[in-house]
Amino acid sequence: MRHRKIGRQPTLGSLLALGILLALVELTVANDFQGIRRSKCQQSRDRTQIFEGVDNVLQKRLQALRAEMRSRTSTQSAELDAYLVPMYDEHQSQYLMESDQRIRFLTGFTGTIGEAVVLMRSAAFWTDERFLEQADQELNCAWRIFRVGEQPTVAEYLQAELTPEARVGADPQLVPHHAWKALETELSNEYIRLIHINRNLVDLVWGARRPAPRFGALKVHPVRFAGERWDSKVARLRANLTALRCDGMIVTSLTEVAYLLNMRGTDIPHVPVFKAYLLVTHRELLLYTNTTRETLGLKNHLKAHSCHNENCVQLRDYGDVWRDLRTMAQHWHRLLVPSAVVFDTGASEAIHATLPRNIVFERPSPIIFLRAQKNEVERQGMRRAHIRDGVAMCEVLSRLEERFIAGDHITEMSLAREIDHARKTQNNSEGIAFPTSVAYGVHSGLPNYTPSNRTNIELSEGMVLIDSGGQYEDGTTEVSRTLHLGEPTAEQIRAYTNVLIGLIRLSILTFPENLKPAELDALARGPVWGSMNDYPHGTGHGIGSYSAVRESPISISYTAKQRFTFKEGYFFSNEPGYYKPGAFGIRLENVLEVIDTGKTHPTGHKFLTFQDVTLVPFEWKLIDRTMLSVPEKKWLNDYNARIRQHVGSELKRKHKMDAFYWMMNKTRHVPEYVTEADYHGAATSHHCRLSIAGALAIVLLLERFIFN
């Protein structure tokens, strides 16, 4: 019986063509996985270009880490094929002690977002879009650099570089549990194992040169600033735990520990926190920290003397938390372990590995929502802190213009130091909230630029973007302003005014309380989108009260679909921007307070609105008043009136008259009515908005009809 052919048989030529095609596909993928084009590195797949000096030191550290990966003593078992180095400490903090700056030690990168992956023959680094150029300059040519959120992910890179049965190691204390599980699941598809390595290999390379952990003094945050006693906060937390049928919770976030116990510290730069874990049950409160800094005042505050009830805090050594978790877990049925939410990454993989899986209840920490809704004392404190902050900024900015006109030599770093000093001289000041950024000229086109000795330049005629903030005992501030030294171009004025319009549109909004923050993003971005541009950062984030400058649960970004909504007493930033790489950049930022209007939506939800608490003038000569609508002009006039009232009176009280007159000039009244000159100026510009031009024409026709 003859069989019928069901298709053409492959010829030698077709097989060869298929092989070439597959090779080209593989080469394309490999090239995609080479990362961004390095400005200082030769693009070569065969050779890595290493530069002299500090780059050689960093290369030796990379080689030493690979030696530790091969050492069975260090890895507690077989050698590793890859090792992960995240940008976290044990508490997944955004800002770190010097002794926890492992990414900086290994790679030289000084930014705040990054993750490194080291293999035996390659090394890769992931960072946010805002830090790409900084990473390109700071990392040597041994590193491939990738954007977070784009291909390849860490898992995809490891799958492409490793063979099945490969071993990938990481310190479980430094990796959030949710990130560990996600990576473990993806790697298991290729039979690659993710291994707990309890001895941190970067620390082994660092050795005796690693700075000693800095454990600063602990201080009580008094009720006159906190607005509520710590035992009252704990009672509210326990009520939440009862509703969730939990025996207790482990608090791992340093800002949450500080908030709950009305304590502050200096362990980490710019954030007034201290390294500690807190175990809260219905019968006990256990604080795990460096106990050598106990004081009589601290013990009195925490009622720690002879503590034998649920309303006092037992002080224990920092490392005892692991033993106590294992021991006490035998008596618990359900323990709340914080999960990832917005800016908080939740508990570490090490915490989860210590607890029996059946008692773990993963959920966002209730403390996040208690903390975000400031009480009346905290709200008043935030408002007062921003007035003093406005005084400091007016002092510095008025001197800047005078000195520039006089021909003084001013650099980015010297101006940043002046801003920091001005804040520290204010009442209740506790320093700065994050490193002050002064970005002049082309540097202002970088969304997250911070000057350093290597990049510092002198200010001349052009754009200057200043992003800074302060820590005060009664509040935390953050403000961005863009100035122009000299005469701005028409393009710069249009771009600045569009950013200002976006800020105003969000500030004047009244909305029902069930509106999601992400749904507001288009209001601020709309004018910038209209110029066919965008900015690579969120429009807003929650802000703490004498705490972290970035606080959950508020995140305004159309890419972040969070279910959490605004509540009265929340504070958050409003920071639209515009960046033209290689030319200039603009960012304007105010902190807003959420206010209850007292009115009700037809559905029964409250109507909420916003009130700006930041009080720093905008750059008058960068505002094209013809682009502003009447409501936008009215907002600007009302805002300027508040600056004159609150900041002006404080400047006069302090006899800072130069700063006072500078402020008065920057906040002069904008005519809200329409003149014929305004109309003709707007009508001749192809950048004006049609709706406004039409409105202006109608107003002029009515005026002529009435008065003629």
Q: Which of left, alpha, beta for 696 (phi over 0: left; psi -120 to 50: alpha)? A: alpha
Q: Is residue 615 part of a domain?
A: yes
Residues 437 and 451 in one domain: yes
Per-residue confidence (pLDDT) for residue 505, from 0 to 100: 97
Per-residue confidence (pLDDT) for residue 72, from 0 to 100: 77
Number of H helices, E strands in the chain: 24, 28
**Closest Cα to residue 386, out of 501, 265, 545?**
545
Q: Is residue 49 part of a domain?
A: no
Residues 429 and 352 in one domain: no
How buried is residue 328: exposed, middle or buried, by Cβ count under 10 Å (0-12/13-18/19+)? Answer: middle
Residues 468 and 604 in one domain: yes
- What is the CA 196 to chain-centroid distance, rounded? 28
3-state helix, strand, coil in the chain (%, to 5): 45, 20, 40
Work out how many domains the chain is built from and give that number: 3
- What is the CA 35 to chain-centroid distance, rounded? 24
In this structure, the chain runs to a length of: 708
Per-residue confidence (pLDDT) for residue 218, from 0 to 100: 96
Q: Is residue 12 part of a domain?
A: no
Q: Is residue 28 part of a domain?
A: no
Residues 109 and 182 in one domain: yes
User: Cα-flanking dihedrals φ and ψ of residue 578, to 5°?
Assistant: -150, 130
Per-residue confidence (pLDDT) for residue 190, from 0 to 100: 83
Residues 199 and 226 in one domain: no
DSSP assignments along 153-203, one per residue: PHHHHHHHHS-TT-EEEE-TTSSBHHHHHHHHHHHHTTTPEEEE--S-HHH
What token pair was written down for 604?
Answer: 């029964």
Q: Which of these three, 180, 209, 238, is where a domain ends?
A: 209
Give the number of other CB atoms < 10 A from CB of residue 123.
Answer: 24
**Alpha carbon separation from 521 to 97, 122, 588, 590 (Å, rounded):** 34, 39, 15, 15
Torsion of CA 514, 519, 520, 522, to 10 degrees: -160
Residue type, 25: V
Residues 345 and 404 in one domain: no
Per-residue confidence (pLDDT) for residue 683, from 0 to 100: 40
H-type alpha helices, 194-292: 201-206, 223-226, 230-243, 254-261
Per-residue confidence (pLDDT) for residue 677, from 0 to 100: 52
Would the pTM of this model clear 0.85, i.e. be above it? Answer: yes
Q: Is residue 689 part of a domain?
A: no
What token pair was written down for 189?
Answer: 């598809």
Per-residue confidence (pLDDT) for residue 54, from 0 to 100: 61
Q: Domain of 223: which CATH number?
A: 3.40.350.10
Spell out a b/e string for 28-39, using b for 16 or more CB atoms within 10 Å of the CB, else e.
Answer: eeeeebbbeebe
Q: Is residue 41 part of a domain?
A: no
The residue ranges of the chain whose pLDDT is under 50 are: 1-8, 12, 15-31, 44-52, 679-708
Residues 78 and 149 in one domain: yes
Q: Is residue 683 part of a domain?
A: no
Rg (CA), the chain: 28
**Closest Cα to residue 285, out of 271, 270, 262, 303?**
303
Q: Is residue 293 part of a domain?
A: yes
Per-residue confidence (pLDDT) for residue 340, from 0 to 100: 95
Residues 469 and 481 in one domain: yes
Per-residue confidence (pLDDT) for residue 690, from 0 to 100: 35
Residues 226 and 203 in one domain: no
Residues 190 and 61 in one domain: yes
Q: How far apart are CA 320 and CA 331, in angstroms?
A: 18
Give the number of other CB atoms < 10 A from CB of residue 600.
Answer: 12
Per-residue confidence (pLDDT) for residue 681, from 0 to 100: 45
Per-residue confidence (pLDDT) for residue 205, from 0 to 100: 97
Per-residue confidence (pLDDT) for residue 694, from 0 to 100: 41
Residues 525 and 618 in one domain: yes
Q: How far apart are CA 413 and CA 328, in angstroms?
A: 51
Per-residue confidence (pLDDT) for residue 11, from 0 to 100: 54
Q: Which of these three, 209, 228, 243, is where a domain ends?
A: 209
Per-residue confidence (pLDDT) for residue 699, from 0 to 100: 35
Residues 310 and 424 in one domain: no
- What is the span of the domain harbouring residue 196? 54-209
Torsion of CA 307, 308, 314, 316, to 10 degrees: 110
